[in-house]
Amino acid sequence: MADATPSQTVGPFFSIGLCAWQQHELVPGSADGAITISGRVTDGDGEPVPDAVVEAWDRAAGRWGRCGTDADGAYRLVSARPSAGPGSEAPHLALLVFARGLLKPVLTRMYLPDEEQANATDPVLAALDPDERATLVGRRAGADLVFDIRLQGERQTTFFVL
């Protein structure tokens, strides 16, 4: 067996360092209007990625949070309702996903399912085909939102160039 390269060995361990400063709340869970966003990070085979890191940014409001995934690839963040972006951008969170096998994080967005009118005029969503758009809209689970992130393969989440 060949020696492991640095990129092969660092992957499973980077979440330890990144999650030492874990801040899974963009706002306190007790804040008025706080919502829980949860989901799973999976690979191309639908298997969980147990050591990924998900960062959420509400750029318009200047809030961010970070959390690692558990053994099932699950993550959980608490946020206020995202703000509208610049221009005609619909309310959304920008999400960075760090995971083994990635030399740099991947960037995606999570839009709100109850913002149909704003989503319809969002220039980023408008530039995508319907299947790609569908991967960027969270779904309701009671008062909470669910946003699953599939890193590759069928139903891959749409990612943007950093």
- The owner of tokens 């147990």 is 50
Task: Give the N- to C-terminal CA distance of the chain in Å, as an integer.
Answer: 35
Contact assessment for residue 110 and residue 93, using Cβ atoms and an 8 Å cutoff: yes
**pLDDT on residue 162:** 73
Regions of the chain where pLDDT drops below 70: 1-23
What is the DSSP code string of 21-83? Answer: G-B-BSS-TTSTT-EEEEEEEE-TTS-B-TT-EEEEEETTTTEEEEEE--TTSEEEEEEPPPP
pLDDT at residue 1 in the model: 47
The whole-number pLDDT of residue 14 equals 53
All domains in the chain, ordered by first residue: 6-150 (2.60.130.10)
Can you read off the two tokens belonging to residue 8?
A: 């092969």
pLDDT of residue 18: 56
67 beta partners: 54
Report pLDDT digits (tens) over 74-120.
999 999 988 887 788 999 999 999 988 888 899 999 999 999 999 99
Predicted local confidence at residue 32, as pLDDT: 86
Please state the pTM of the whole predicted model: 0.85
Count Cβ atoms within 10 A of the Cβ of residue 23 and give its class: 0-12 exposed, 13-18 middle, 19 or more buried: middle
